[in-house]
Amino acid sequence: MTHSHFIRCAGFCAAALFISPAAMAAPAVIGGVAYDTVDDGEPFVQAPPPRQTWKAPAPNKPERTAGLMAFMAPDPGEYVPDRIPRPEERVKKLAVSVSLGETTCLAVGVRALRNLEGLDASLDLGGAPVSAELRHMHCWPQRTGWKSRQWTMVPELLLPFSGGKRTVPVRDGVLTEEPFDLGVEKTAAFWITVTAPAEARAGRYKGAMSVSGGGGPALRLPFEVEVLPITLQRPPDKNWLLYADPGRWEKMSGEQVMAELRDFAAHGFNGLVEGPFGRLEISGIHAGGIRFDDAPFRKSVAQCIAAGLPGPHVCQIGGIPEKVRAALGIECDLTKDEWPEELRRGVTEVARVIRDTTKDAGAPWYFYGVDEPTGDNTYAIQEYQCWHDAGVPTYATFFRPDFLDKASAYLTAPCFVSGLVGSGEKAR
């Protein structure tokens, strides 16, 4: 399992610019996006873009006529407005293979050879027994690091468009329409999601994708869809979990939440990370009066099962050692000291109560403590030990292997930041 900060899932909407819980400043506009508040500090500035030392290939006649050149970058994250296509990335046709019951996708960029107004695109599937959804890839600002004051444009939202207009976010997930205009030597990108029903007839089908702008002729790209006569099997010992960002659901209807969960399942996920969990009350811990209200978790599990997400899930509940320390009247520095035995027993007992309360909720779950701790984080190590001793499966993300060296005995599912396992040598 890898821990990635770039999610490529249709319908997913993450926070554009992470706002830390530090002091807040006045509203700001960053990269054309308005924020109600940003964390205090130096002004945000755009990071220098990567150098592009190559030239775009010379357009052929159909490209000149349409005013567009299509290309496919090796990574969808490269489809930014100023991206120049390399000669070897230029494409004159598209192709996709999909197995029975599978959802797959591909992305294609277009570079404007002149100013184009009202960009539009459409798909002809050539009679292929599949469904296809076409969206535009919207870029917005992201920090270059956790607390960086620099930002860069990142393609992260897959949004609807039609009739020469595209949808873009305004605020709090609300979308608005604007003209889908593309300036000369600027790039736009499209994301195609293809789904084959389990009973689809295998074969090769020849269709086309058409892209046009400014009322001119369309650039037509042959589009071959191959439906494979096989069904992919999910490895029984592998789980694919998605960071849910459930705070957004408070402003969504139940059907909107279910539509999003079904979308997650359609893209191969079977569980959530940081989904709704519950409320803890430990004021009566001296007399064994520990109570955990897991109603939010049970509701989420039921919704997930109905949407095709059976679990397991990863649940985060923070601040328990602090609450136990206060309830028991213990004096210690949780971040530096070795925890007193009474505190360890208290945290472990709370974990047992939560385990027992949720045991029949309908889905297994893992405890998620401190996010990305390092080996010198004695708080995280001791907290994970308590939950492990309570018989609760545990999950931890980390970017330095020294944490794994010290906490491996207490971790059921260590989750490696992708950079740690990005090569065979590092993975070993």
Residues 133 and 258 in one domain: no
Do residues 231 and 198 touch, judged by C-beta distance below 8 A?
yes
Residues 193 and 319 in one domain: no
234 domain residue, yes or no: no
Residues 245 and 366 in one domain: yes
Residues 151 and 23 in one domain: yes
Residues 171 and 278 in one domain: no
Domain closes at, from 228, 251, 267: 228
What six digits make up the tokens of 63? 């490209």
Residues 190 and 268 in one domain: no
Strand residues in 285-346 grouped as ranges (E): 289-293, 313-316
Residues 6 and 128 in one domain: yes
188: CATH: 2.60.40.10
Residues 118 and 213 in one domain: yes
68 domain residue, yes or no: yes
Buried/exposed 282-308: b ≥16 CB within 10 Å, e otherwise: beebeeeebebebeebbebbebbeebe
Helix (H, G, I), strand (E, B) or coil at 335: coil
236 domain residue, yes or no: no
235 domain residue, yes or no: no
Q: Amino acid identity of 23?
A: A
Domain closes at, from 228, 261, 283: 228
Q: Is the pTM of this model over 0.75?
A: yes
Q: What is the pLDDT along the chain (428 residues), one digit of tens a residue?
A: 333 333 333 333 333 343 344 444 578 888 888 888 888 888 899 999 999 999 999 999 999 999 999 999 999 999 999 999 999 999 999 999 999 999 999 999 999 999 999 999 999 999 999 999 999 999 999 999 878 999 999 998 999 999 999 999 887 667 899 999 999 999 999 999 999 999 999 999 999 999 999 889 999 999 999 999 999 998 888 999 999 888 889 888 999 999 999 999 988 899 999 989 999 999 888 887 899 999 999 999 999 999 999 999 999 999 999 999 999 999 999 999 899 999 999 999 999 999 999 999 999 999 999 999 999 999 999 999 999 999 999 999 988 889 999 999 999 999 888 777 777 776 66
Dihedral sign, CA of 148, 315, 193, 173?
negative
Please state, in angstroms and as integers, the Cα–Cα distance from residue 187 to each residue in 105, 384, 406, 419, following that order. 20, 47, 47, 29
- Domain residue limits at 130: 2-228
Domain count, the chain: 2
Please state, in angstroms and as integers, the Cα–Cα distance from residue 271 to each residue in 50, 206, 229, 300, following that order. 36, 36, 28, 11
74 domain residue, yes or no: yes
288: CATH: 3.20.20
Do residues 211 and 110 touch, judged by C-beta distance below 8 A?
yes
Strands 45-46 and 150-159: parallel
Residues 248 and 199 in one domain: no
63 domain residue, yes or no: yes
Greatest extent of the chain over all pairs of C-alpha atoms, in Å: 82
Residues 402 and 340 in one domain: yes
Residues 270 and 210 in one domain: no
347 domain residue, yes or no: yes
233 domain residue, yes or no: no
Residues 61 and 131 in one domain: yes
